Amino acid sequence: MTSRRSFLRTAALGGAAAVASPAIVRAQTPIKWRFQTYAGAALGEFVTKPTIDYINNAANGEMEIELYYADQIVPTGELFQALQRGTIDAVHSDDDSMASPTPLQVFGGYFPLATKHSLDVPVLFNQYGLADIWREEYAKVGVQWLSAAGQDPCNFNTKKEVTSLADLDGLKLYTFPTAGRFLSQFGVVPVSIPYEDAQVAVQTGELDGMAWSGITEDYTVGWADVTDYFLTNNISGAWIGSFFVNQKQWADLPEHLKAIVMSGIEAGHTYRNQWYWGGEARLRAQGDKLQLRSIPQEEWVQVEEAAKVFWKEVAGEGEVHAKIVKIFEDYNEVISKAGPPYTFG
């Protein structure tokens, strides 16, 4: 046993000083990621920045993520290639917009009439097996898929009043690739331009409007300032988008930081759900920029039936396609039997 006297004598000579003195923690060089979102700055503040802020704050200096908005490092359509080669470390986007080179591309964004509400998306991924499919398919191409969530429905905001299917004919709309492919059968002319150019394109007449979001985004990003009408019919009840990370960057990340990243993503999902859900109701009821219009249900049913045909076509494109379409069919059968609030009306 070391006596108190000998301990103090040793400490005075420096031998036990390390035991007696508090440790000095030297911060290591933080892990730095470059992260790009599909969203422009006005929208990104609500749909992506809360997640990044959470991670940066919780990481306590061990990790720093620098957030870039739509097209700031690379065009949105090149996000996947940039992620794969490490130009960007992580991405928030849908599979469709970022031109995913997987069978999943067609299902990202707004797959026609596959969902009714934002909560359908986490249910489909966590209870019906989509998470396993997304994880496996991206692992094949060197990208780590982390998590998916729903957001807003895909409605139309236009300069022209739309009250029938015939009014869609000839409309030049900024929309997602798969949504454009589906809508073209009703005469819609899909236009692909950079996200930040869409508002000006309406003002110059290059676009007649957008089939890109719900009403919350229309007001948030300024589209409600350049269009006049909001069509309450939607072609999808919830956006399907995900968080992705370069595979090597994820593998090299310490486990406790992986946990922080996942916690930040889940916190962001929760924030977006309430932000969109509340915004859609409030702005329909109290917004003063867009006039609400609807296509009668007895006519809109043609779009719903066309979606079923579209699903069959997509299912024929491959084994993975068929598996995902079957999941959508099974889920929609369940919620159809369940009735409101899982389905409308």
pLDDT value, residue 21: 40
pLDDT in tens, 115-159: 999 999 999 999 999 999 999 999 999 999 999 999 999 999 999
Q: How far apart are CA 219 and CA 333, in angstroms?
A: 34
User: At the top level of CATH, which class does the domain 31-152+238-286 belong to?
Assistant: alpha beta
pLDDT value, residue 343: 85
CATH 3.40.190.170 range(s) for the chain read: 31-152+238-286, 155-237+289-338
Which amino acid type is present at position 185?
Q
pLDDT value, residue 345: 54
**Residue 104: left if φ>0, alpha if ψ -120 to 50, beta else—which one?**
alpha
CA dihedral 93, 97, 103, 109 (to 10 degrees): 70
Q: How far apart are CA 195 and CA 175, in angstroms?
A: 10
Q: How far apart are CA 270 and CA 116, in angstroms?
A: 18
**Which residues fall within 8 angstroms of residue 328, CB to CB, at 6 or more apart?**
111, 114, 124, 311
pLDDT in tens, 78-106: 999 999 999 999 999 999 999 999 999 99
Percent of the chain exceeding pLDDT 70 equals: 92
pLDDT value, residue 131: 98
Calculate mean pLDDT across residues 64-69: 98
For 155-237+289-338, CATH gives: 3.40.190.170
Q: What is the pTM for the complete model shown?
A: 0.89
Q: Tell whether the model's pLDDT for residue 16 goes beyond 60.
A: no
Say how far residue 297 (Cα) sits from the centre of its chain. Answer: 29
Calculate mean pLDDT across residues 217-238: 97
Q: How far apart are CA 154 and CA 158, in angstroms?
A: 13
Q: Please give the mean pLDDT across all residues of the chain.
A: 92
27 pLDDT band, cuts 50/70/90, is low
164 pLDDT band, cuts 50/70/90, is very high
